[in-house]
Amino acid sequence: MLMLAIESSCDETAAAVVENGRRVLSNCIASSVPLHAAWGGVVPEIASRAHLENILPIVHAALSEAGIALDRIDAVAVTRGPGLIGSLLVGMEFAKALAASRGIPLLCVQHIAGHLISPALGREVNAWGESVRGDAPPFVPYVGLTVSGGHSSLVHVKSPTEFFILGETLDDAVGEAYDKIAKHVGLGYPGGPLVDRTAAKGDGQRFAMPRPLLTASNFDFSFSGLKTAFVREVGKLGGPEAVRQDEQLLADLCASFQAAAVDVLLQKARRACKFVRSERLAIVGGVACNRGLRTTFRKELEQKLQLAFPEPEFCTDNAAMIAAAAYPLTLRKAHAAQRISALANLTLDAPVASWQS
Ligand code: KG4
Ligand code: ZN
């Protein structure tokens, strides 16, 4: 089954062609990140306009990179929510029109479900080390640690369409905290990869940063206090300007922030696996690209757990993951109705069956 998938929930217009929800034939992304950089964050109106301009070229690019003509596509998948409503609407309405005009099924997907199923994807092998040729449904069950710019959660992926939320952030998402501290010290936007690079040269033990909710007996996170601790430490050291002048100081601060964030994520993920008796853990979302996080998780957990780290192109927002999450829906024939609409606050556990009418 060849699926064309579309993702437009935030600032990336993405399209992909994926075979059987696993084998990626193309994964194309047009990002409006440079347009938002001057504001230090995503401006919804600019994002929507960029989606309108990018959607048709990116769909053409995905088909042409895959070498697949539109009339060979069996189904269209799209992100229904959550996200910025103006952004979601562009992808949703485009996908609905395309599916209707071709007379093929439309599958609607929740964005976080896409991140959670992203370990199924690959060009030859996937993040679980399986061949992506064939038509097996995604590998389950496992615990998914979602670490992105908009979400941080621990989820028990019981089946490819059944997600049990164990815990989530009570305030900032971890990627949001990365972006905000980077903005504070003038590193640039988006901050995650820049903090990652800076932290690699630093000493994570130099500054004592808090580990929020580490000892709480639940699986929730909180990253806003950690962000504030970083800002306060910068203030004590003379402010952002002074910190920027001292390369080692900035690196040590970033490394100390990262050490605290990774420590909380790791310990809570380990406990969640124990709680649901899972020997498999998938780390998904943009922050899963973080080199410090990958190294520490591998060192501390690889002996006991089977870890899945999707390739970086499948960690940050992309459309291939939307096809991966839609494939199990095609097996259940859970096709979406034409009158379905985007939903900015769509939850992970929303019953997919009700989307059919
Ligand atoms: O999954 P994603 O593309 O979008 C959302 O669904 O939110 O995640 C984007 C987030 C941003 O906050 C970005 O700064 C962060 O992922 N990010 C990273 C790294 N690469 C991207 N954070 C830390 N280290 C990285 N290497
Ligand atoms: Zn995302």
- Looking at the chain, the whole-number percentage of residues with pLDDT higher than 90 is 89
Q: Evaluate if residue 148 carries a pLDDT over 90.
A: yes
How much is the pLDDT for 235?
Answer: 98
How much is the pLDDT for 350?
Answer: 84
Ligand 1 atom at shortest distance from the alpha carbon of 315 = 1
Which residues make Cβ contacts (< 8 Å) with residue 242, sequence separation at least 6? none
Q: Evaluate if residue 184 carries a pLDDT over 70.
A: yes
How much is the pLDDT for 31?
Answer: 86
How much is the pLDDT for 234?
Answer: 98
How much is the pLDDT for 354?
Answer: 67
Q: Evaluate if residue 40 carries a pLDDT over 70.
A: yes
Q: What is the pLDDT of residues 89-118, one digit of tens each?
A: 999 999 999 999 999 999 999 999 999 999
Distance 156 CA to ligand 1 centre (A): 22
Q: Which residues of 12-41 are buried (b: 16+ CB within 10 A; e: fewer)?
A: bbbbbbbbbbbbbbbbbbbbbeeebeeebe
CA-wise closest residue to 11 among 330, 318, 232: 318
Which residues make Cβ contacts (< 8 Å) with residue 309, sequence separation at least 6? 127, 282, 283, 288, 294, 297, 315
Mean pLDDT of 293-307: 97
Ligand 1 atom at shortest distance from the alpha carbon of 112 = 6
How much is the pLDDT for 42?
Answer: 85
**What is the rounded distance in angstroms from the CA atom of residue 297 to the CA atom of residue 301?**
6
Q: Which ligand is nearest to the CA of 325?
A: 2
- Per-chain mean pLDDT for the chain: 95
How much is the pLDDT for 249?
Answer: 98
Distance 192 CA to ligand 1 centre (A): 6
Give the pLDDT band (50/70/90) at residue 189.
confident
How much is the pLDDT for 32?
Answer: 81
Mean pLDDT of 344-355: 83
User: To test the ligand 1 pocket, which listed residue (197, 287, 291) has its Cβ within 8 A of the most ligand atoms?
Assistant: 287
Q: Which ligand is nearest to the CA of 262?
A: 1
Q: Provide residues with CB under 6 Å of ligand 1.
A: 148-150, 175, 178-179, 190-193, 196, 285-287, 289-290, 316-317
Which residues make Cβ contacts (< 8 Å) with residue 325, sequence separation at least 6? 21, 77, 109, 110, 113, 114, 116, 117, 160
Instruction: Name the helix (H) or strand (E) containing 29.
Output: strand 23-31
Q: Which ligand is nearest to the CA of 284?
A: 1
